[in-house]
């Protein structure tokens, strides 16, 4: 989702999810790092973030794991580890990392947003919606979560219109509505 944004979400089967997922992950990660949740002066957050942005995922993971061996409860580094897992395509591991963060630090909205990105990527739009609603309850000013929730609603609307057309084929109003939603979903992101 906006990294953890959802925009633009794939509307058509076969459209790659990775372009928007990476942009969203990096955007949210950047915001979180700037927020300064640092637990210690010597924490390697910036180094891990730079490695992640450079696409040096093995090195970023090595740094994150080394830090977490000393500071296993550090929420910011655990979040970075989840982002790295997500970028590496380790979806199950990333889901576990973000779920554990929401359990251990239920006040943090970012892990909910990242969970939503993973759920949306898997077509689990109800779960994505719930995670985003929680992120927004925790931080009503969380713009990325609001944008991602809008994207999820668009995908849910497209699914509902498709179902409607299956049940009542050829309904002109429904066809126009579906086309409008699909056009919104296929618009390239400018994030």
- Tens digits of residue pLDDT in 138-164: 999 999 999 999 999 999 999 999 999
Contact criterion met (CB below 8 Å) for 73 and 92: no
Give the residue, 88 or 38, on which the prediction is more confident.
Answer: 88
The Cα–Cα gap between 90 and 118 comes to 10
Task: Give the other-Cβ count within 10 Å of 53's Cβ.
Answer: 12
Q: How many CA atoms lie within 13 A of 101 on its CB side?
A: 26
pTM for the model? 0.77
Q: Rounded to the nearest 5°, which phi and psi values hold at 28?
A: -65, -40
Confidence of residue 11 (pLDDT cuts 50, 70, 90): very low
State the residue for tokens 């050829």.
170
Q: For residue 81, how far is the Cα from the chain centroid? A: 14
């Amino acid at each position: 989702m906006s990294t953890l944004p959802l925009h633009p979400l794939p509307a058509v089967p076969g459209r790659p999810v990775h372009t928007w997922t990476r942009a969203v992950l990096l955007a949210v990660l950047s915001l979180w790092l700037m927020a300064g949740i640092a637990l210690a002066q010597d924490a390697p957050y910036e180094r891990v973030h730079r490695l992640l942005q450079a696409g040096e995922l093995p090195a970023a993971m090595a740094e994150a794991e080394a830090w977490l061996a000393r500071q296993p409860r550090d929420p910011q580094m655990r979040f970075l580890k989840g982002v790295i897992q997500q970028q590496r395509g380790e979806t199950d591991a990333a889901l576990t990392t973000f779920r554990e963060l929401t359990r251990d630090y239920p006040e943090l909205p970012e892990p909910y947003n990242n969970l939503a990105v993973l759920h949306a990527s898997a077509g689990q739009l109800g779960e994505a919606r719930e995670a985003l609603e929680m992120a927004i309850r925790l931080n009503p000013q969380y713009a990325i979560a609001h944008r991602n929730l809008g994207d999820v609603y668009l995908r849910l609307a497209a699914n509902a219109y498709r179902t409607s057309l299956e049940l009542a084929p050829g309904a002109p109003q429904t066809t126009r509505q579906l086309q409008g939603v699909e056009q919104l979903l296929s618009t390239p992101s400018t994030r």
